[in-house]
Amino acid sequence: MSKVVLFVKDSEKAKLTAQEVHKFLKAEGYKVKTLLNKRRSTTFPPLRGYKLMVVIGGDGTFLAGARLASKFGIPLLGVNEGRFGFLTEVDREEAVDILHRVLKGELRKQKRMMLSTYLIRNGRRKFLGNYLNDVVITKSAIARIMEIEVFANHSFMAHIYGDGVIVSTPTGSTAYALSAGGPIIYPDSENILFVPICPHTLSNRPVVLPSHFSVKLKTLSPDRACFLTMDGQEGLFLKKGDTVEVRKSKRFCEIYLHPDKSFFEILRKKLRWG
């Protein structure tokens, strides 16, 4: 492993941590590139030949880093300089020690599925990207009820009236989907989670689907009444009749796991379980 990229949140604390990590890597003889994840920044240089991405920031920074790293098959290690830290498992104080163990090959990686998303408008199908967490359609106007037809693997599933819908990976099951009442799915599982947001019909419940299913969401609300968001960071207004198609991506995100924390320990800490 000779080339490492640091993907850093645009904050003073994260930059200071990045300086420490950079200094350590240079002393170990690694070539280091630092990329700052600035707000609204979507273009980054190609990373062919890099063997590790160290994300220094919060979960939002990690999601942006995952979209970039997955293009080049680069595994990630997350150092928490954000608020919640579900994905950035490593604390600042232990970052150098755990990174040293990664470089020595002592830590195991976990493969996480991603979602490919397409917009079908006026008969044309446009690829939007691959996402680690979720794809969400929400209402864009206050006090308006949205109408969405949902198809699972080409079969009509439900007509949703409400505030929106979430299509999530297992990784994203602890994000917006959890707040909307969805279940927690173990992160290296391969399932697609469908969660209605505040459905008008209370019998509309979350559904866990096989990963080989596709999910199509057809908007029946007026133009610009619905907004599509991917990973909470990219989005666009939808028109009446638009269909958003979500399916398992061919790409994966590989994450180095904390050597001393299980997923359930993280849940207990972050969700304050007893």
Q: What is the full DSSP assignment across the chain?
A: --EEEEEEESSHHHHHHHHHHHHHHHHTT-EEEEEEE-TT-------TT--EEEEEE-HHHHHHHHHHHHHTT--EEEEE-SSS-SS--B-GGGHHHHHHHHHTT-SPEEEEEEEEEEEEETTEEEEEEEESSEEEEEESSTTPPEEEEEEETTEEEEEEEESEEEEE-TGGGGTHHHHTTPPP--TT--EEEEEEES-SSTT---EEEETT-EEEEEE-SPTTSEEEEETTTEEEEE-TT-EEEEEEEEEEEEEEPPTT--HHHHHHHHTT--
Q: Which of 59, 134, 231, 242 is catalytic?
A: 59
State yes or no: is 188 an active-site residue: no
Task: Report, as residue numbers or ranges, the catalytic residues.
Answer: 59
